[in-house]
Chains A and B, each alone.
Chain A
Amino acid sequence: MVEHGEAVYTLEELLAEYGDMIYRIAMHNMRHKADAEDIVQDIYIKLLHNMPSFQNAEMQKKWIIRVTINTCHDRWRYLRLRTAFSLDERYDVMEEHKQEYGLLYYVRELPEKYRNVIYLHYYEGYSVTEIAEILHRKEATILTWLHRGRIKLKERYEGGEEHVG
């Protein structure tokens, strides 16, 4: 993984460096595989056409994370207005979810602000200061979200485990 190297611009490098990361953030936010894959495609179109120049790979990565979260948010707004499913399609999704019961499932069920903070801190390893920079929020806000997110996750996970049995 590139930490402080040069930013990349070719498609192959972008796919290798950030493909899985964009997909994982999209999966955290969109919950459904098909939606997450759509997000990845959207992001790549954006990257190929609108990506500014970066001094180093770390700045580029933070920018891509921010764009991905924003794109997911926009997609939710779009889905809220337009999404329609047939009954059969909904049941397919339900089945998919039942097989996915695990800690990740509960993180994805958290409100948007908590799940992104948890992902960035516990998986990407960003500090509170860095997450505040990525999400354009105050450090105190990120600390609060992280704290509340952990509590909610623990409550839901433990409650859910008992429920699922």
Chain B
Amino acid sequence: MWDEYRKEIEQLHLDDSVIKDIQQNSLKKHPHAFWKHKGKWAFAFVFVACFCIGGFMLLKQPKETVILHQPKTYKTISKTQKQDTYLKGKDTTIPLPSEDYGSAKPKTGSAETIKYPVYEQSYPQDLKGIYKKQVSNDTKQEILKEFAEIFHIKNGSYTDTSLKDDTVCVKVMENGTIEVAFFEDKKTNEYISREMLLENATAIYKKYPKLQMDNPMWKIKIDYRDGMLEYQVLLYDETKALWNQELNNITFYVTYQEKNNVLYSTLHMRIKTIARLQQRQSYEIITEKEAKKRFLQKEYMQLDTDTKYLPDKDDIVSVQLQYLDSADEAYRSMQPLVYPIYRFYLKDDQGKEHLVDVPALKEKDWRKLEVEINENN
């Protein structure tokens, strides 16, 4: 058995194309041995040169220009609007963000710059509704009737919140999420792989035209539970804005049950839609700049609460405006409202990723909503 394993591994070799890529990259990024001895002087030289050139060019910079300054995810914004020619080919001219969405105002002169994430200009204008995660009994009945039609259930048994027949069970949750379980209890020798799950999910999705989206995209979500990889298939419409994808999607996942030493699997489908939730009110959204200020004041909600990690501004990789409503994050699903947040993606010194959220509402509105904020000090 192990000979076979070793033979199969022996067949794995690095492609020549990858080796070529590595060699090319190494020409750009100098080898370790060089930097080990010469790095400090080279760095000092580059730093001084950049400082001199940068200072000179900033003094010459025309007014009203927005400069997307590579690398990584930040742009440097000054008061000017015309692309500066000294930046290399990767730099891009972009429209000045509107006042509502965090236009940059240097404190002094044209040399003043502020670091800002690049997607600042693309915020959805309509992202301001606050929704209550609750549906009325009448709405629940409407949903059940609609799903009876989708799944061709003629003689199912109804309760206030569920509909069931021999093959399928549909349940409408209090927060408007629709949970569907397909009763095809299958004996299984092993846990279902993501390819198998995707295959099953695709078959279900294609079977019911009323569930179909215009431009479906699949996302494989992976989680570790009890030392095992667990997969979910998330289906969303790629043409919609990010917040819309978060709130209107279908997730497929599998649960397992052991009976008499035999493992059985059941396929589940979770449908999220904001359409039937009550919109509580519309609120003004704070700018990303304000959100960052709040982040620096430690007014954020930390996702990984069991870690000793303290978020730091230097760790920010990117920031995204989106709605907070994620059923797989337990503490959030307890919250009764769907509301916008700025999500900060962070990476610490060890390369570990972290997430924190800053509510995207004005302080007074936020306090009124009485949603809990973790004060991390």
User: Which residues of A lie under 8 Å from residue B32 when comparing CB positions?
Assistant: 9, 47-51
User: Which residues of A lie under 8 Å from residue B19 when comparing CB positions?
Assistant: 15, 19
Residue among A49, A112, A156 making CB contact with B189, cutoff 8 Å: A156
Q: Mark out the residues of chain A between 6 and 38 whose CB falls within 8 Å of any chain B CB in the assembled complex.
A: 9-11, 15, 19-20, 22-24, 27, 37
User: Which residues of A lie under 8 Å from residue B33 when comparing CB positions?
Assistant: 9-10
A104 CB-CB contact with B under 8 Å: yes
User: Which residues of B lie under 8 Å from residue A122 when comparing CB positions?
Assistant: 2, 5-6
* A82-111 contact mask (Cβ, 8 Å, vs B): 1 or 0: 011111001001100100001110010101
User: Which residues of B lie under 8 Å from residue A94 when comparing CB positions?
Assistant: 195, 198-199
B216 CB-CB contact with A under 8 Å: yes
Provide the main secondary structure of the chain A interface.
helix
On chain A, which size bracket covers the interface?
A: 35 or more
B45 CB-CB contact with A under 8 Å: no
In contact, A40 and B18 (Cβ under 8 angstroms): yes
A119 to B229 CA separation, bound complex (whole angstroms) = 18
Known A40-B22, A85-B218; contact A103-B1, beta-carbon cutoff 8 A: yes
* B90-130 contact mask (Cβ, 8 Å, vs A): 1 or 0: 00000000000000000000000000000000000000000
Query: Which residue on chain A has the smallest CB distance to residue B233?
Result: A90
User: Which residues of A lie under 8 Å from residue B198 when comparing CB positions?
Assistant: 90, 94
Closest beta carbon of chain B to A17's beta carbon, Å = 12
In contact, B23 and A45 (Cβ under 8 angstroms): no
In contact, A159 and B190 (Cβ under 8 angstroms): yes
In contact, B219 and A27 (Cβ under 8 angstroms): no
Residue of B1, B4, B195, B199 with most chain A CB atoms under a 10 A cut-off = B195
A20 to B16 CA separation, bound complex (whole angstroms) = 11
A156 to B192 CA separation, bound complex (whole angstroms) = 12
Residue among A22, A113, A123 making CB contact with B9, cutoff 8 Å: A123
B275 CB-CB contact with A under 8 Å: no
Q: At the interface with chain A, which of B79-87, B169-177, B220-228, B334-342?
A: B220-228
In contact, A83 and B219 (Cβ under 8 angstroms): yes
B31 CB-CB contact with A under 8 Å: yes
Q: Mark out the residues of chain B between 9 and 42 whose CB falls within 8 Å of any chain A CB in the assembled complex.
A: 9, 12-15, 18-19, 21-23, 25-26, 29-33, 35
In contact, B14 and A79 (Cβ under 8 angstroms): no
User: Which residues of B lie under 8 Å from residue A9 when comparing CB positions?
Assistant: 31-33
A90 to B31 CA separation, bound complex (whole angstroms) = 37
Q: Mark out the residues of chain A between 66 and 87 whose CB falls within 8 Å of any chain B CB in the assembled complex.
A: 74, 76-81, 83-87
Known A27-B12, A122-B2, A156-B190; contact A81-B353, beta-carbon cutoff 8 A: yes
In contact, A45 and B25 (Cβ under 8 angstroms): yes
Known A10-B31, A41-B22; contact A83-B220, beta-carbon cutoff 8 A: yes
A57 to B197 CA separation, bound complex (whole angstroms) = 43
In contact, A44 and B193 (Cβ under 8 angstroms): no
In contact, B8 and A104 (Cβ under 8 angstroms): yes
In contact, B22 and A15 (Cβ under 8 angstroms): yes
Closest beta carbon of chain B to A33's beta carbon, Å = 8
Known A9-B33, A45-B29, A102-B4; contact A80-B22, beta-carbon cutoff 8 A: no
B154 CB-CB contact with A under 8 Å: no
Closest beta carbon of chain B to A30's beta carbon, Å = 12
Closest beta carbon of chain B to A108's beta carbon, Å = 10
User: Which residues of A lie under 8 Å from residue B6 when comparing CB positions?
Assistant: 122-123
User: Which residues of B lie under 8 Å from residue A136 when comparing CB positions?
Assistant: none
In contact, A11 and B4 (Cβ under 8 angstroms): no
Query: Which residue on chain B has the smallest CB distance to residue A50?
Result: B32
Known A122-B6, A155-B189; contact A19-B31, beta-carbon cutoff 8 A: no
In contact, A40 and B2 (Cβ under 8 angstroms): no
Query: Which residue on chain A has the smallest CB distance to residue B226?
Result: A111
A-B pairs with beta carbons under 8 Å apart, 23 shown: A15-B19, A20-B12, A22-B14, A23-B12, A27-B12, A37-B14, A40-B22, A41-B22, A44-B25, A77-B352, A83-B220, A83-B222, A85-B217, A87-B216, A94-B198, A102-B4, A103-B5, A103-B8, A111-B227, A112-B229, A123-B5, A156-B190, A157-B1
Point out residues on A near B: beta carbons under 8 Å: 9-11, 15, 19-20, 22-24, 27, 37, 40-41, 44-45, 47-51, 74, 76-81, 83-87, 90, 93-94, 97, 102-104, 107, 109, 111-113, 118-119, 122-123, 155-157, 159-160, 163
- A-B interface, 3 closest residue pairs, ranked by CB to CB distance from nearest: A159-B189, A104-B8, A84-B219
Q: A41-B18, A104-B9 are in contact. List 11 more A-B contacts (CB 8 A).
A: A9-B31, A19-B14, A24-B9, A44-B26, A45-B25, A79-B220, A79-B222, A80-B222, A94-B195, A103-B4, A160-B189
